[in-house]
Amino acid sequence: MKTVIIGGVAGGATAAERLRRLDEKAEIVMLERGGFISYANCGLPYYIGGEITDKEELTLQTPESFKARFNIDVRINNEALSVNSKDKTLTVKNLQTGKTYTEKFDKLILSPGASPARPPIDGMNSKRVFTLRNIPDTYAIKNFIDAEKPKSAVVVGGGFIGLEMAENLHNAGLQVSIVEFANQVLAPIDFDMACAVHQHIRSKGVELLLGNGVKTIVENTDKSLIVNLINGSISADMVIMAVGVKPDIAFLKDSGIALNERGYIITNEKMQTNIADIYAVGDAVEVADFITHQKTMVPLAGPANKQGRIAADVICSISSAYTGTQGSSILKVFDLTVASTGVNEKTANRLGLKYEKSFTVSSSHAGYYPGALPMTIKTVFDPDNDKIIGMQIVGFEGVDKRCDVVAAAIRFGASARDLTQLELCYAPPYSSAKDPVNMAGYVIENIIASKVKIFHWHDVESLDKDKVTLLDVRTKEEFSLGAMPNFKNIPLDEIRERMSEIDRTKPVYLTCQVGLRGYVAARILSQNGFDACNLSDGYAVWKSVMDGSSEIRKTTKYGK
C-alpha cells in the first residue's frame, strides 16, 4: 500500500511516523512545498527575539533523518498542484527543477496547513512588510533586523503570533506598536480577562491601539513606512502582519473534496474526507468543538498531532476517532502567562448557552513562602448541573498546570464538586493546601448551593443607589486608594459591630478587592437577615475593565 502525505510539520509528520511504526512494509511519500518538513513553528518568534540562539534548534527532523529512521521518501520543494480523486493521482511540481510529474497513491493524507492572511491593503508588498509562518519567514525577519537595524515596528493583529512577535521585537530593542481591530487582544479569552493583559503590555512601553485597523502602508523617502490607520497613523521601520490565517487549499480545486464555506476541509471523526481513501488533518481542517459540538476551526499543534495519528490508525485498520477540540492554549506575554480551555463567555452568549461565571484570585503557591504571585481565574459553568465548560487564567507562575488540570477535568465531564475533590500536589514552594483549582470549585459550589448571591462588574453601572445599599468591605487604606462610585466603606472586621448602619430594607451589594472578603461579609449579613449579594470579580477586575474601556473609548464606540 502506498500512502502519500501532502505537508509536514505537526499533522503530516506525525501521520508519517505513526504509519511507519504500524506498517514497516508500507510505501510512504511525503511532499513538502517548502524546504523544511518538521520544525518548531511555535518557537519561531523566540529565535527572532534572541531567546533561541541556535537556528538549528528550530529544525526537528530533516529529510535525511526521516529516511534513516522511518524509511520515508521525503521530497522537499515539491508542490502538489492538483488532486485527481477518481484516478488517485496527484500532479506535483518540483520547484527546484521546474518539472511537473504525476504521483499515484492508494491512500492520501492532506496536511497543507494554513497560511497567514494577507488583506488587500495598499503597500502590503513592501519589502518592509512581513508575515510569519515558517523558517524562511523567520530568517527573512531576523536578517532584516540584523542588516537594516530598524528602530521601530508595527505589529498588526493581537492574536498569539502578534503578541509573541511584539514581545520578541521589543526584546530585540525595537519600539513596538500593536494595532488590533477588535476591542481586545487574544480572542480565546474574554474582555474582562484581557484588560489585565492590555495593562501589562502597556507597562512594558509597547503602544497598544485597540479598535483600530490599517488602511494603507506607504513607503517613506527615508526607507521607513507610514502606516495609515482608521484613526491616525504611525511611522515605523517595519510591519508584521498577523491578522489570522486561511487554509492552504488552492490545489484542491476541482478535486471533489468537500470544503466548508470558509474553505476548510470537511472530515468525519476518523479524519476521512467525503472521498474514499483521502484523509485530512491539521490547520486546514474543520473540527467539532468538544463542548458545544459546533463546527469550528482551531489551528493548534496539539490537535494536529492527534489528528495525524488518528488518520494513520484508520488507514491501518485500527479503531480510532477524534472526539473534538477544546482549544486549550497558553501564551507568554512578557512576564504574564495567559491560558484558556473550553468555552469562553462570549462564545456561550453567541450560542445562547445557559451559563454562569465566577472569578477567583489565588496565589501561585503558599503565601507564607517567598515569591507567591497572584493569578486571576475565570470559570464558566452550567448552573443546571455545575459542569465546568471553560476556564481562563491570567497570572505569572503556575498558570499552566492549573489550566492543564481543568482541561483534563473538562475532557472527563467534571463538575465543580469534582474540582473541590481533586487531590493535587502540595508543598509550600508549589501550591497551597487548597489549590487554586480547588478554590474555583469551592466558589462555584457555594453559588450553586445558594450560599451566596453574586453579581458582576458589568452589573455595577445599573445599580440604583437609592434602591440598594452599596458596601465596600476593604480596609480604610485600600478604600482611600480608589473605590467604585457610591460605595460606602465598612471594613469586614468591623461589620458585625456596625451592622446598625446598614439599611435592612434594601438589598446589600458588597465588594472587596478580589471577592473573598465580600463573600465572608455576605455570609455574615445573610445570616443576620440581610439580602446580601457579592461582587464575584471584586474591585480589582472592575477597575481593570474600567481602565481598559476608557482606553478603547478613545478610538471606538465601545461602551457608548
Task: In whole angstroms, give the CA distance from residue 78 to residue 72.
Answer: 15
Give the phi and the psi of residue 131 in degrees, each rounded to 5: -125, 165
326 DSSP assignment: -
Helix (H/G/I), strand (E/B), else coil: 116: strand
> Sheet of 175-180: strands edge to edge?
129-130, 238-241, 152-156, 175-180, 207-210
State the helix-helix crossing angle for 9-22 and 301-315, rounded to 10 degrees: 30
Give the phi and the psi of residue 237 in degrees, each rounded to 5: -90, -20
Report residue 433 as a C-alpha cell: 493546601
Report residue 398 as a C-alpha cell: 503556575
Helix (H/G/I), strand (E/B), else coil: 167: helix
Task: In whole angstroms, give the CA distance from residue 484 to residue 535.
Answer: 12
- 42 carries an active-site annotation: yes
> How many of the other CB atoms lie within 10 Å of CB of 467?
8
Burial of 125 (C-beta count, 10 Å sphere; 0-12/13-18/19+): exposed
Helix (H/G/I), strand (E/B), else coil: 373: coil
285 DSSP assignment: B
Per the residue annotation, which of 42, 195, 425, 533 is the catalytic one? 42
Task: In whole angstroms, give the CA distance from residue 26 to residue 2.
Answer: 6
Amino acid at 301: A
Sign of CA dihedral 384, 294, 404, 161: negative
Which residues lie closer than 8 Å to 442 by C-beta, 6 or more apart? 420, 434
The whole-angstrom distance between residue 18's C-alpha and the CA centroid of its chain comes to 28
Least Cα distance to 4 among 267, 358, 278, 212 occurs for 278
Query: 248, 113 in Cβ contact below 8 A?
Result: yes
Report residue 112 as a C-alpha cell: 497543507
Sign of CA dihedral 553, 341, 116, 128: positive
The whole-angstrom distance between residue 420's C-alpha and the CA centroid of its chain comes to 26
Q: What is the DSSP string of 366-380?
A: -TTSTT--EEEEEEE
Task: In whole angstroms, give the CA distance from residue 115 to residue 465.
Answer: 53
Q: C-alpha distances in angstroms, 137 versus 74, 76, 153, 451?
A: 22, 17, 16, 55
Catalytic center residues:
42
